[in-house]
Structure formats: C-alpha cells, structure tokens
Structure 1
Amino acid sequence: MKGKNTDYNFIIGLFLIIIVLLTFSFFIEEKSFFQEKKIEHNLNYKKQYNFFEKKKLKEQFFILENEVLKLKISNIGGTINEVFLKKYKSYDPIQSYHKRNLFLVKNYSLFYKMNFYDKKNGSKIDTGNILFKPILFKKDKKFTTLILMYKNLNNNNREKGNLYYIYKIGTKKQYDLNFSVKTEKFKLNNTVFINLEQNIFPLEKDKNWENSYTQLYYYSHDLDKNKLEYLSEKNSENRNINNIKWFACKQQFFTTIFHPKNELKNVHVYSKNFNSNKFLKMIRINTYLNPNKRKELNFFTRFYFGPLDFSLLRTYNNNYEDIIPFGWGFLKLINKYFFLPIFKLLENTNLNYGIIIILMTIVVKLILYPITYNQYKLSVTMKLIRPYIEKINKKFGNKNIIEKQKSIISLYKKVGINPMSGCLSAIFQIPIFYSLFKFFPTLINLRGKSFLWVEDLTSYDSILELPFFIPFYGNHISLLTLLYSIALLIYTKLSNDGKNTMSNSDNYLSSNNMDIMLYLMPFVMLLFINSYASALSLYYFISNIINIGFFFIIKKFFLDEKKILLKIKKINNN
C-alpha cells in the first residue's frame, strides 16, 4: 500500500514538474510587457509568415462592440474595416422608409498606418502591409481589449522583434476607442511616419447641403493659446501645421476624431472634394514621431466615432463640442447659451420634436415680448403724429433744415418716443434671427425626427418635386417655407401700415424704397430657405403667427390709440 502511495505521489509530482517547465518555457518565449496576461496562440508563426508572403491566407476580422458601437478590425494591417453606429440610421433614397444602417467607416474608408526603420536588423516596416495575429481578446465588466501582434522574422524565420496593436473599448455607451502601438526588441530610426486617410460617406438626404458642413477641424496649441482651425469646406486645400492636439473629420451630424496622447509637432493636412455619389470628401493627415533615446515605439491615441452631440462631446473636456458649427462670434454664444438650454429643457417633456419647436418659439417670443411691444408702440405713435410732422415740414420746407429737425426731435421727446429705438430693436433681433440658421441644421437631436408631413426636421420638407431646377429655389416646393413667407407678408403689411411718416423730412431715407424692400423680403426668404432645415421654417412660421397675434392683442388690450391721440393733441396745444 505504501509502495502504491509512493508511485502515485511520484506520478503527480512528475506531472506538476512538467506543467511548471512548460509554463516557464512559454513565458520565456513570449517575454514582453504582456507577461501578466493570459496569451493564447492559435497560429504557427512560420506557417503564417509563409502564407502571407504567398498571399494564401484569408482575411480575418475581429469584432469589438458595446451598446452603441460595433467595429470590425482586420488582421491585415490591423486597421478598422467598419464602424457601425447602432443608435442611428443614414438616409436611403431607394427604400420607401428612407433608412439604412449607418456606417461611419466601411470597406477601409478609414485607413491608417505607420512606417519606420529598424536599425538593429536593417528592416523596413510598413504596418499597412503586414499580417497581425490575435494574442488576446478579453472582455470584462468595463472594457473589451483586443491585442494584435506582428512577429518580425528574418529570412531564416528567426524573431527580430514584435509589434503590437492594442484596441480597448468601453462596454457601455462609449463612442471612443483607445488605440496603442508598441514595439519590442526594435531599435528604431529617429523617425516614425504616421499616415491617416478617411474618405467620408454621404449620410443625409441632401448631399450638397451635407457637403457644406463636411470639413477637417484641428485643435492647436500655439504661444500658450489654444485655437480651433479648419480647412475649407468648398475647395481642396493643403496646409502645414504645428503643435496639434487633435483632428476631427467632421460631417453634418457625425465625426471621426483622432486625438493622440502627445501633441504632434509637424503635420501636413490635405482635403479634397469629390464629385461622385460615393464620397463627399477625402481627408489625409501625414506626420511623424521621434522616439529619440527610447528606441522603442510607444504611441497612444483615442478615436472618437460618434454623433455631434453637444452634451456628449463636452464630457470629454477637450473642446470637442467647438466643432459643432453653431455660428461665429456672438451668434455662437446665442445658440450655446440661449437656444440650446431652452431646447434641452423642453426636450425633457418627451413631446414630438415639432411640438417642442413650437413651444420653444412661444418661450422665445414671450422673452422678447417687451421688444415687440415697444416696436408696436413706436409704430402706432409715429402713425398718429404724422399730421404734426407734415405741419412742421410745410412750415420750414427745405430752407431751414436744422430748425426743422430740432422741431421734429422736440415733438418726439414730448410724446415720449425715440425713432432710433426701432432701429436698435431690429439690430438686437438680427443676431437672434440669423443664429437660428446655424442652430437647427446642426442639431442632431432633430435628425430623423418627423412632424406631420415632415420626414426629417433637419432637412427640407417637400410636398411636390419639380421636374426642373429653379436657381436659388431648388427642384421642390417646401410647404413650411411657403407658409412662413405668407405669414411674413401678412405681418409686414400689418406692422408697416402707416408706419413711415418721415418721407418729407428725411432726405437720406426713401420711404418708398423701404416699403419695396420690406415687401420683397417674404419672396426673398421663400427662395432663400426653401432647401433649409424644415425646423427653421417651422420656427419662423410660428414666430410670425405669434407676431400677428401680438399685434391684435396689443392693439386691443394694451395700447389705446384714442388716448395716445388725445395726449399728442394736448402736448401739441401746449
């Protein structure tokens, strides 16, 4: 019995020794910065290398995904073949429901690679042409990690160094992807070249409109100042730039952001427009790194593949949200700190987005009501003092212009009005008016949202497609734009009826020309915004309906023209 126990223990001990030796030899062979991780080898290196040289190996893909993203990564070049956004759809002109899966990257439309020279072994590496193998695919509660490795072999199939591509993605609603490139047992030359190129797909209904919002942005650091710059959205452009923190290949509602850990010192960027239906633009970025004394490459960057959502981009604390084209200067401030907070607040009601725009219009008009009231009061008062202005004109004629102007100004002061206040009110409202041109076409919250006959509030609505193209107007009829123009024409008629009283007293202003301009504006707007976002036309239409309502409410309940006229007569008699 004792002998049997001794034999049994001997066998167990021998088995454990074999396991220890195998494990030890395994880690010696794969000695690297991944020693603490479990690495699985499923391919034979010699066989893999020979097959790649003979182009007999088939391409393999590895899937990284979370709740919002799905990425397909190829073993050839280790690059991303596809980026699928799960929560969004792109416009399909063929399907009746006009929706299809949204791929921000497809069939290597995004391509990136590195080129460097290994002085130790005299080999040139082009990562775009090498075959990687997976050595780790791990998913835990927070992240999914994929590690691809390329083993650099000489002609005798002996190892000369390892190159690692490391992808790491969050498992929840994260649109960013961490990407690292590391070398092991390399002695690099001083220069590592990085090349990145993206061909950008059209995703929206109106390709021309979308193309006007598609361009390369970059955030640079110069003389202790950070600034956001961009290439032309209309023309092809080359530029050499320095001290770059990140790049963004931006479309109307989505973007690809390339954000390296360290600033890039010398960068060449190039943007080219396409006339084909397949792509909008091609953007290319070329730069280089200097590993210096480290000799090994350790490069880290973040990719962001996702929507131009202001709140989401702001969470990254890297000024990503600045690429949303809310306008320039004061217009941008109005959109970011006035319209957007109001919209976000109303969005919490979970109502239809068309209703939210209507409510937003009502809220804004109520805030601006004092200006509307003062404008109407000025219009009514100017209408009532017209006879007194004409008397002053007859009294002085054109002989004593200075005294005539003094008398008119004195009359204005007596009745308590300032004609310049009307100009100031108009000047105040102009930035608000034009800021909306940038607000609605770039608000991703409205993208794909329908209202009544409108399919997408960020694109034009069409009740009739024309068989021909009208310059400035387009080849369709937008009902919302038509309604807005009619409402604007009615409001213009009401608000300017009897308003112009200075035709004989103001040599520098032609009343008739002003009337023509005012009544021409509705037709100009009809041409100008026919292809704009239907949300914009809806806002302007409701805004003018409210203005017409204010006109009658103020006239009936707040301004008594008889009392104002009696006050004017009393002042004039004194």
Structure 2
Amino acid sequence: MQQNNGLDKNQLLSFVLFTLILMGGMFYFQNKQAKEQQLKDAENKVQATQTAQSNPVKPAMVTNLNDSVKTTSIQQVELKNKELTLNISTLGGQISTVQLNEFKAYDKAADRNVKPLLLFDKNNSSYGFQFKDKTGKIFNTKDLVFSPTQNGNSVTMQANANGAIIQFIYTLLDKYTVDFNVKTQGLSQLVSDSKTDFVWDYNVRGVEKGRSQEQTHTEFNYAFNNYKSFDYDGRTTMEEPKETLNWLGVKQQFFSAVIEPQYGFKNSRGHQEMIEEGEFLKKFNFNGQIDLAGNELNQDFKWYFMPLDLKLLKSYEGKNFDELLPLGWSFIGTLNRWFFIPMYNLISSWGIAAGWVIFLMTIFVKIILSPVMFKQHKLSAMMRVIRPEIDEVNNKFKDADPMKKQQEVMAVYRKAGVNQMAGCLPGLIQIPIFYALFRFFPNMIDLRGKSFWFAKDLTAYDDVIKLPFHIPFLQDHLSIFAIACTVAILIYTMMTAGNIQQPTQPGMPNMKVLMYIFPITFLFFLNTSASGLSWYYFVSNAINVIIILVINYLILDEKKIHAQIQANKQKEPKPEGKFQKRMREMMEQAQEQQRLQQQQQQKKKK
C-alpha cells in the first residue's frame, strides 16, 4: 500500500496556477461588476421613478458630470395651493407630478370621473436644458441630481456640473401658474456654444372616457409673433425654424401643459406619435433653442397647468391662451364665443340640469331660424302643387335634348314664382351652426362630468348598450342618444323626401336613396361623439318633424297656394336674378356648343 506523503511538485504547481487564475478571475469580474453597477446606477438615476415616498427635505449629495451618482435616494419636494399639487424631483430638478386638485380623471371600473387628475406622474414627463461642453460632449440637466432648499411655496434646486452652478427656482403662484427661474454661474467656462436646447419628452395620459375623441383633441399648440399669432399641429411633425415661439403647449381635450420662455424658443421642432392602446394617448417630443447671454443661462420661464375654461384663459391678458380652446376658426369660433357659450352660461345660471340647458338652447335656435324654415316649407308646398306641371313637361320633352328639357322646367318654376335656390338657404345657414356645435359640445368644460338620464358625461358617448364584439367606427357599444337622433333624422327625411325631384337623365343617382343613407352614416359619426351633441340633434330633428306637421296641416293651405301660383302665371314674370340669369346663360352656351358639335360630326360623316 502506497502512502500519501503530501503534494508533489506538479500538484503544487497546478494548485498555485489554479489559485492565481481563480484570484485573477475574481478580481476581473469584481471590477467588471463594479463598472456595470456604476453604469446601472447612472441609468437608474436617469430613469428613477417617483415611487419613493416624500421625505423631509434634507441636503442632497451634489453630483459631478464625471462622477457616478452618489445619492442613495431621489427626493420629492411638494408645492401646493388650492388648484395644484406639484412634486419637484431632485433628479433633474424638474416637476415630476402635477395634480389638478379640483378635477377628477375618468375611471373605467367606476365609469365616472373619480380618479386623481394627474398630468405629470410616474415619469411620463421629462425635461431639461441640453448643453455642449468644450470637448464636444453633450450633457443635460435632467441627468443631474439637485440639492433642494424649500421656503414656503418656493424651492431652489441647485446642482454642480464640473464647477458650474445651476439653479432652478420654482415658485407656485396663484391658481395654475408656476414660476420657473433658471440661473447659472460658471457655465461660460464649461460650454462653447452660445445657445442651449430645451428638450421636453411627454407621454400624455388619457383622463377622459372617449379615447378616440380625446386623442383627436391632443396636439401641439403654440403662439408666436409677439403672442399675436397662433397655430396648432396634430400631425406627426412640427417645424418652426423661422418663428420665435412665445409659448409651447401640449393640449388635451380639457387640460393643457404650457411652457413659456421669457425670450422665446427659436428653431423649434417637435414630433408626436399616436399610442394605440393603454394608459397613454400620444408621445410628444419638443426641442427649442434658447439663446445664452455671455454663455450663461439666466432666464425666467413659466409653467401653466390649466383647465381649458374660456373665462380663465382670457384672464391671462396678452397671452392668447384662449386659442387653446378649439372653438373653430373665423365665423365658427365667433359663433361659439359670442352666441352659444353666453347662451349656455345664461340658461345654466337658472340652476337646471345640463341636459335641459341643451334642450332650451335647441328651442331658442329653432325660434331664431323659424322665419327661414317657414319660407323653406312654404317653398316645398309650392313645389308639390306644381309637381303635375313639372311631370307634364318632363314627359313632353323626354326624348328632347336634356338642356332643352331643363330650360322648360325652369320656365315653369319662373312663371309660377317659385325660386328653387331659396330652398338652399336654410341648409347653408345650418352648416356653420352644425360645425360650431360640433366644436362646442366636446370642448365645453362646464359639461364635463355632467350626467343626463343614461348619459353619465355629456362630453363623452353613452354606452348603456354594450356589444360583445367590436364594430369598426361604432366600436363596442351603441349610444342611445345617437340611435334616437338617427331615427328622428330618418322620420324627417321620410316627410321631406317627397319634395325632391328625381333626376330623369340616365346614370344619375337616385336622390331619395342617398337621403336615406345619410342618417345611417350619421349614426357611425355620433356613436363615439359627445352625447350632448347627439341629444341636441335629436331635439332639433324632433322639433323639425313637429314644425312640418304644424306648417303643413295648420298654417299652409295648398288650395290658396295653388290659387297664388295661378295668379302669378297671369302676371309678368319677375326679372331674373343674377344667379338665375347666369344659370340660364350657361345652359344656353352648353346647348349651343352641343349643337355645333353635332353639326361637325354630321359633316365628318358626309
């Protein structure tokens, strides 16, 4: 039996070599892990969440651009007034939470506005100033850790960037305004550029019931030309290389976040991207240049986190903030500002429910339009009376040239004293009213959250009838108000379709069929729109039906109308109006051209 007297030379050498390899490997991976941890800590600093609870304000460790993050936790400083609650984060020295205290956000589970209304929260907004140092490297203030000093509703955030001191001073003013003063010292020794970029990344959170409707109203808004001009952009990109923007806002359906630089943003560009589903509606990115004075940034900014209430927006004099409320351009916006909104405010001051306010608004509009509507229905009655004569002309000239037949028909109308174009006037008048109301109901913040019957919010659709499947455009519900409005339009169409003269030319579409298709397409439009709009149009068309019945059976007497038409025939025809004359001349010219073409074709055949 062989004894083991210990390790031989080969074993000892192998052990030493293995130990050295093991220690070297441990040292290598320890250094690698330390570097990875430093990198990870730096990334965590940039992407730190707001989950840390608010701690008493303590001096935070100041970080240097070339050092790793030395602070163990990110602090939040709270500023609060009646309207706003803000949290300022020491990471980036930026506003991390914005809550509008007097409003609530939509909760799908409760089907009501009961959640806290948060514009900024959970890192959905990140902003900072981007500089280029003398080595060509770019750094951003949102990557720095600031040290806070709070004094009431004001907090000073201070950071050190390679010897340069950067201060952000936030002061919560009255209502919805936050003063944001930026000061630097020693920055000129660090940077080589005479400008900085303000970079803002913002994922807009949905706070309303109707996602598609809120997405449509979520967009860039901005003022320029010394606050005199306004523009908006709901597309993919926004480019303003020549204008100086006085303020830049990201507007939602009823709320807006606006940043206003003291001397404006230059060479502004932005990007927005639709988010199909989930918590957020759209992803925004904005970059605007700020000029440095002596390579230092000393400028006052202001943040505004506002509900889109017209009276409030107008109270900021000279800012042009009232343009944030999309009431329509030109005459449409004027109609809303000076007619529908004052009418709504007046009636709602009587203390009645919002749905009945809309009901009374509809009646007042109908009373105003009643003279025009009476003329329209009287014209319809006159056209019914002379319909046999029109049919006789059509039969008599059915084989004749279409132009000739049309001239004979127009002659019958002219002798009877019937102006066909007068029937277009009510329709033309109601087009701007329709579009004004289309803008009014989804944007009237006083209607937000107001319920009426089965509609829990008159600025969103009612979805009492839920579908077990999804239909394009209709989505997964049926709106009762939209269905009721569609039925009312169909009844009105049935009562008026008999007055429409069908085209006799071959290949022309049947106008009656088109008129019946229109109400059905209207259902697809209204089903996802504001229920207040559907309620208004239901009442409006129900009143139209009643008006037709009253006019036809109680006011207009077709025997008297027939006698009047016969009397008109005995008189000298009224001089043609400019439009009628122009139409007749165009028809005669077309007829003459057709005759000449026929002559040329006959000559070619010979």
Same fold (TM over 0.5): yes
- Residue type of the alignment partner of 2:261: P
The change in CA–CA distance for 1:355 and 1:163 in structure 2 (over 3 A counts) is same
CA drift of 1:151 comes to: 5.1
The answer to whether the 8 Å contact 1:383/1:501 transfers is no
The answer to whether the 8 Å contact 1:193/1:286 transfers is yes
**Which residue does the alignment assign to 1:15?**
none
1: CA distance, partners of 2:546 / 2:142: 65
Is 1:150 the counterpart of 2:159 in the alignment?
Answer: yes
> Quick one: which of 534, 540, 556 aligns to 2:537?
540
Q: How does 1:377-416 map to 2 (within 5 A)?
A: 377-394=378-395, 398-399=399-400, 405=406, 408-416=409-417
**Which residue does the alignment assign to 1:352?**
353
**Which residue does the alignment assign to 1:210?**
214
2: CA distance, partners of 1:271 / 1:374: 49
Q: Provide, for residues 419-444 of structure 1, a one-character-per-residue CA deviation record: whole Å limited to 9, x for no partner.
A: 11112332332232233223212222
**Which residue does the alignment assign to 2:462?**
461
Is 1:193 the counterpart of 2:206 in the alignment?
Answer: no
2: CA distance, partners of 1:404 / 1:96: 61
Q: Provide, for residues 308-334 of structure 1, a one-character-per-residue CA deviation record: whole Å limited to 9, x for no partner.
A: 222222222322222333345554444
2: CA distance, partners of 1:425 / 1:311: 32
The change in CA–CA distance for 1:346 and 1:395 in structure 2 (over 3 A counts) is same
Other structure's SS at 2:241 match: strand
1: CA distance, partners of 2:524 / 2:58: 64
The change in CA–CA distance for 1:548 and 1:500 in structure 2 (over 3 A counts) is same
Which shows bigger deviation, 531-540 or 282-291? 282-291
Is 1:517 the counterpart of 2:539 in the alignment?
Answer: no
> Quick one: which of 162, 165, 170 aligns to 1:167?
170
**Which residue does the alignment assign to 1:25?**
none
Other structure's SS at 1:134 match: strand
- Residue type of the alignment partner of 1:104: L
Q: How does 1:175-324 map to 2 (within 5 A)?
A: 175-187=176-188, 189=191, 190-221=194-225, 226-232=229-235, 236-237=236-237, 239=239, 241-242=241-242, 243-293=244-294, 295-316=295-316, 317-324=318-325
Is 1:95 the counterpart of 2:110 in the alignment?
Answer: yes
The change in CA–CA distance for 1:387 and 1:248 in structure 2 (over 3 A counts) is same
The TM-score normalised by the length of structure 2 is 0.76
Other structure's SS at 1:280 match: strand
Other structure's SS at 2:122 match: coil
Q: Provide, for residues 81-139 of structure 1, a one-character-per-residue CA deviation record: whole Å limited to 9, x for no partner.
A: 110011111111123655211101102322111233677x999864223333333413x
CA drift of 1:395 comes to: 5.1
Identity %: 34
Other structure's SS at 1:113 match: strand
1: CA distance, partners of 2:277 / 2:517: 38
CA drift of 1:340 comes to: 2.7
The answer to whether the 8 Å contact 1:313/1:321 transfers is yes
Other structure's SS at 1:204 match: coil
The answer to whether the 8 Å contact 1:389/1:502 transfers is no
The TM-score normalised by the length of structure 1 is 0.80
- Residue type of the alignment partner of 1:272: E
Which shows bigger deviation, 444-453 or 385-394? 385-394
**Which residue does the alignment assign to 2:471?**
470
CA RMSD of aligned residues (A): 3.2
The answer to whether the 8 Å contact 1:113/1:194 transfers is yes
The answer to whether the 8 Å contact 2:112/2:449 transfers is no
CA drift of 1:571 comes to: 4.3
The answer to whether the 8 Å contact 2:112/2:456 transfers is no
**Which residue does the alignment assign to 2:129?**
114
- Residue type of the alignment partner of 2:209: K
Q: How does 1:56-67 map to 2 (within 5 A)?
A: 56-67=71-82
The change in CA–CA distance for 1:395 and 1:298 in structure 2 (over 3 A counts) is same
The answer to whether the 8 Å contact 1:176/1:305 transfers is yes
The change in CA–CA distance for 1:404 and 1:87 in structure 2 (over 3 A counts) is same
The change in CA–CA distance for 1:310 and 1:484 in structure 2 (over 3 A counts) is same
Q: Provide, for residues 534-566 of structure 1, a one-character-per-residue CA deviation record: whole Å limited to 9, x for no partner.
A: 111101100011111211222344322221122
2: CA distance, partners of 1:97 / 1:332: 30
CA drift of 1:396 comes to: 5.1
- Residue type of the alignment partner of 2:327: F
Which shows bigger deviation, 53-62 or 560-569? 53-62
- Residue type of the alignment partner of 2:525: F
2: CA distance, partners of 1:433 / 1:126: 49
The answer to whether the 8 Å contact 2:59/2:147 transfers is no
2: CA distance, partners of 1:238 / 1:501: 49
> Quick one: which of 555, 558, 564 aligns to 2:561?
564
The change in CA–CA distance for 1:388 and 1:252 in structure 2 (over 3 A counts) is same
2: CA distance, partners of 1:97 / 1:420: 48
The answer to whether the 8 Å contact 1:440/1:533 transfers is yes
> Quick one: which of 128, 143, 164 aligns to 2:142?
128
